[in-house]
Structure formats: structure tokens, C-alpha cells
Chain A
């Protein structure tokens, strides 16, 4: 039996944990740059606020209802997430962390999965203060559906189990909300009169394989109670690593863009090095604001590295070289992306016989990594990244890093 544990309004719940004055009050959390709503508490949802709405559109609702607004405090959320995952690890047979606030666990060995899930829910809420919902099913896809129902229906008390032959339940689930069925597939399915999870479960497997590929077929099998989507217990190596940010204010100067590219390349390379990988292509993309810019200019360029690498100065140089090629003056850029691709594991073989200087480069990077890990991220960095950073992300309503910074821990009387 598989359970999907999903936190309720995760970011908002994390913020409320250290703010008892906000209990039962509407809270929203903003995305990068404080631009859109990315999470909200139940009370905020009841005011009609929806995710992805730009902040400026609901200023009235916020003021009228005393909604408390926070910028995303990723540092805090990551730590709370780690705590929840640790508790799950200690209370299950196997765990797959799916996202910052979701995990699949295998309940093999527990004779009463609902009873155990209720215990787990209570344990997590007591130990971390974060409310969760748990969906149980024989497969991940069924567990996901059960989780949606647990969240939506208060009478379940946050824990719900579904069986593949629960026809009446599955017939009420729209295909659009089934895991791994994207928008394009659901349009296609609806046009062929496959509207619900029950319809999809009972559809012809040959036809599904032909039109939805093997992944669609796997979903159908899972709806039938057959485990087909692999239970991964290790983190898959990322196939591409992207760092992308919107600028607080549009940027027009090349020097500023160059600094931004260096910063994002550093962040992406750090992730690359953390998973012990190398990349062979660096892609840089620049974009203007589709709503506000008078002149629209979006362009992208990929620079191939002579050899797969994770040497930061080389990656930054390539990214900045690419930027120079696609940069046009007098344009208000809103976003820059740096994408590292063609990723492969870093084995000793990559050190080329023709490039003895590589040994020294890797020694330098290893030393930098060690220092950064010990002190804080990006403590040692490349000068090209710039210090003024006027284009830095706007995060005006950030809460303290209660659990990772001694200067910002909770203070009480």
C-alpha cells in the first residue's frame, strides 16, 4: 500500500508556525519578486484568493480583510520540509520525496494503513506544527487521487484510502486532475469521451499506448491497481539545471546583465557540483516583460563547452560570451535564464590527457566547495558577479530564518 503525504498550504503553514497571532487568520505567500501569490492559508482561500494571481490585483481584498503577506522564505521552508521528511523516513518502509512538501511512502508491513496514517499525521502535526493530508492506494496514482479527496473533504479528517474498483469515487474524478495527465492529454481524452478516472481506468490499453505513449499506459495500469511507476528511493540526477529569476526592476545595461548571468551560472553550477555532475552545454536566455515592455525581444543561445565541465570560471565565461552574442541595447529585460545541459556524472575519466591544467582547476573548485559548505553558500565567489545587485529579487516581506540563523531565532518573553 502506498501513501502520499502532502502538506496543507505548506509555505503559509510554515509562516504561521512561529506566529500564533496569525492562527485562523488569512495568510498569503508571494512568489519570487513578490509578484504573484504562490501559497495561501485556508482562510485566504475562503476569501476567493487563488494561486498565481498577481499581487496588485488583490490589493483591495488584502487591505479589507487584514490579510498578512509574506515573501517566500525558502530557507525556512526547506528546513521544515527536511524535518517532515525525516519523520516520514523514521516511520515507513520506504520513502520517495516528490517535492518540497510531498512524499510517497510505502506502508508495507502495516496491517492497518489508515490507522497508521492517522498516527503519522498526528505525529507530524505535533512535531512540526504543519498540517498534512494523506491519501492511500495500491499505486502512486491512486494515492494521489486519494490525497486530493482527503484534502477536499473535511469528513475524511485528512486521511483517505481509495481502491481501484471504487467506481463511484473514481467516476467523480475529472481526467484533468489525474497525475501525469497534462493539459494536452486531457483535451484529447475529453474529445474522445474519456472524462473521469473511471473512464480512463477502463479504456482500451492498446489505444492508450498508441495515443498517450507508455507513460499514459502506465497511468492506466496504476488506475487498475497495478504498480507501474517505479518507486525511486534515490534522487534522480537532474537532466538539465536551470536558474532563472525575474528582475525586480527591468534591466537595460549589459554590465548588469553580465553580473546577473554570472550569479545564476554560479547557482546552477553549485547544484551541478552538489550532484557530482558535469555539463557540456550552457544556454543563456533573455526575455522582456510580455505585459509591460513596449519592445518584445526574447532570445536564447547555447554554448558548447570543449569538454564536459563543472569548472565555474569556464561556465561563467561561456554564459557571458553567449550573452554578448544575443544582447541588444535599449531593451528593458525582465528575465534571464541560465540552463546547464548534457549532464553526465563526474568520473575521473573526464580529466583529459591533453589538458593537465584541469587537475589544478578541479583542486581549486574543490577547495571553494569545501569553504562554501562550511561557512555559507556562495561565501567564496567569483568577482564577476558584482556586489551592488540592484537587479536582485525583491523580497520585502521576508520572515526571519528561525531555524537556520542564530541571529534570527524566535524571541519570546
Chain B
């Protein structure tokens, strides 16, 4: 998907009444397009559905769709999608004194320490989370 796919450009769809321009003519702006807000880098943006509860403390619930950007450089405390020993997970990336941890946001889950022999790879940074309140099972 490219940004130009969902661009709304205003144009005059009606005949301009001769001799009586609208006072709003000079102020027309394009309608809000949410993809412009949520997707800064379309080529590196992916959507992933979360099926666990390890991050509910951060507002990511089972059934949510997260928007993940693979091109961003990770910063300390970013929520990321990573693979550990061949499995994907979504956790907060925390660096403390040269030690890296993947931290859940749910007391029922343990934080994961990344050791030298851990097969760990960052996949992308979570930028937004989408919840469907019409189909919300979290309450």
C-alpha cells in the first residue's frame, strides 16, 4: 500500500456558480486521512495480530492489531516485535547497564534476559495499536 492510494484531494465537483464564489474557497483542506497519521513508512510497515496477554499493562490486548515499522532504529523502552529462539514475541525492549531485557506488561509473565547464546533478533518497532471496541473481549 502506498500513501497515494488513500489520498483525498479536494476538487471542485460542482459547477462554480458564476459571480458568487464561496468564502470558504481559500480555506479548503483535505479531509483527515488516518493512514497518513499511522503510517510514516509504508514500504516497511506491517500489521500483526496479537493473541496473548503479556502486554495488557501497556494497552495491548489479545485481538488487537499492532502496526509495526521495520525501518525504525530501536530506542530504549520501545515496544518491539522480536524473535527469540525461533518464536515471535511482543515486549518492551529495556537496556540496563549493557544488559538487554524483554519486559512484559503483565505480572503473570516473566521478563526475559537476553544472554550471549540467546537467539534474539529484533523484527520491528510497534508504533500504534488498534482495538476494535465493537468486538472487545477484554472486559
Contacts and interface: CB of A to CB of B under 8 A. Distances in A.
Do A and B truly interact?
yes
Interface of A: 20-23, 83-84, 86-87, 90, 123, 126-129, 402-403, 406, 409-413
Interface centre among A126, A403, A410, A412 (most CB of B within 10 A): A412
B50 interface: yes
B83 interface: yes
A20 B41 contact: no
A22 B88 CA distance: 12
Interface string B78-108: 0001010011111000000000000000000
A86 B43 contact: yes
A168 B81 CA distance: 47
Contacts of B47: 403, 406, 409
Contact of A129 (B42, B50, B54, B70): B70
B44 A127 contact: yes
Nearest to A84: B43
Given A20-B87, A20-B88, A20-B121, A412 B81 contact: yes
A127 B65 contact: no
B49 A126 contact: no
Given A20-B88, A409-B46, 7 more contacts: A20-B87, A126-B70, A126-B71, A129-B123, A403-B47, A412-B52, A413-B50
A410 B50 CA distance: 9
A411 B63 CA distance: 9
A20 B44 contact: no
15 contacts: A20-B83, A20-B121, A123-B71, A126-B71, A127-B70, A127-B71, A128-B44, A129-B70, A403-B46, A409-B48, A411-B48, A411-B51, A412-B48, A412-B89, A413-B52
A126 B123 CA distance: 9
Interface of B: 2, 41-44, 46-52, 54, 65, 70-71, 81, 83, 86-90, 119, 121, 123
Interface centre among A22, A127, A128 (most CB of B within 10 A): A127
A410 B49 contact: yes
Contacts of B54: 413
B43 A87 contact: yes
Contacts of A86: 2, 42-43
Contacts of A90: 43
- Across the A-B interface, give the 3 residue pairs with the lowest CB-CB distance, nearest first: A20-B83, A413-B52, A127-B44
Contacts of B89: 412-413
B55 to A, nearest CB: 10
A20 B123 contact: yes
A57 B131 CA distance: 49
Contact of B43 (A20, A127, A410): A127
B109 to A, nearest CB: 10
Given A21-B87, A86-B2, A409-B65, A127 B41 contact: yes
Contacts of A20: 83, 86-88, 121, 123
Nearest to B69: A127
Contacts of B71: 123, 126-127
A411 B90 CA distance: 11
Contacts of B90: 412-413
Contacts of B65: 409
A183 to B, nearest CB: 37
A129 B121 CA distance: 11
B78 to A, nearest CB: 15
Contacts of A126: 44, 70-71
A67 to B, nearest CB: 16
A377 B71 CA distance: 31
A119 B54 CA distance: 36
